[in-house]
């Protein structure tokens, strides 16, 4: 690639300004893309949890944590779709749906890692408090 020389000082300054503006646009676009992917991932995991719960209700199976159902789901999904489907992650997806049955309550400002941490909190009010704290204090949990 041939380097184009800029002769006037103002041309150089204007050009540098152009590169800075383009850089800001790229950085903003990348950040928006990361948040969009995160939102889709969180909603996808919520939908998977919903499917598992509805399956349990249809077959009348009371699934405990010792159930082979989670292992089987994890095994089959991992074989078909790759990583992200450990037994524990499948269990978290189920719990995620149970604790957030209204998908409108999901925040696009929280990552899946945030939600996994929040799922450890049993009390709804306490969990809600920490959700708000995560957002307002910008507690980092895996968006990069």
Q: What is the pLDDT of residue 4?
A: 65
Q: What is the pLDDT of residue 7?
A: 65
| Distance between CA atoms of residues 97 and 45, nearest Å | 8
Q: What is the pLDDT of residue 5?
A: 67
Q: What is the pLDDT of residue 137?
A: 84
CA distances from residue 60 to 46, 74, 90, 120 in whole angstroms, order as listed: 21, 20, 19, 26
Q: What is the pLDDT of residue 3?
A: 61
Q: What is the pLDDT of residue 106?
A: 84
Q: Assess contact for 92 and 118: CB atoms under 8 A.
A: no
Q: Assess contact for 49 and 98: CB atoms under 8 A.
A: yes
pLDDT along the chain (144 residues), means of 10: 65 90 98 93 96 89 72 96 94 95 82 93 92 85 46
| Distance between CA atoms of residues 61 and 53, nearest Å | 10
List Cβ<8 Å contacts ≥24 apart for 86-89.
none
Q: Taking the complete model, does pTM exceed 0.75, yes or no?
A: yes
The conformation of residue 105, written as its DSSP 8-state character, comes to G
Q: What is the pLDDT of residue 51?
A: 96
Q: What is the pLDDT of residue 103?
A: 73
| Cα torsion 31, 34, 40, 46: sign | negative
Q: Assess contact for 142 and 111: CB atoms under 8 A.
A: yes
């Amino acid at each position: 690639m041939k380097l184009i020389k800029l002769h006037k000082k103002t041309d150089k300054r204007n050009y540098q300004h152009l590169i800075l503006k383009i850089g800001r646009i790229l950085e903003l676009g990348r950040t928006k893309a990361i948040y969009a992917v995160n939102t889709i991932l969180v909603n996808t995991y919520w939908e998977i949890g919903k499917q598992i719960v509805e399956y349990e209700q249809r077959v009348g199976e009371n699934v405990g944590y010792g159930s082979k159902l989670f292992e089987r789901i994890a095994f089959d999904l991992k074989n078909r779709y790759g990583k992200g489907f450990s037994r524990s992650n499948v269990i978290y997806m189920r719990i995620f749906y149970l604790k957030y049955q209204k998908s409108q309550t999901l925040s696009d400002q929280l990552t899946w890692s945030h939600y996994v941490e929040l799922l450890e909190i049993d009390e709804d009010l306490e969990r809600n408090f920490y959700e708000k704290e995560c957002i307002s204090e910008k507690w980092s949990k895996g968006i990069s």
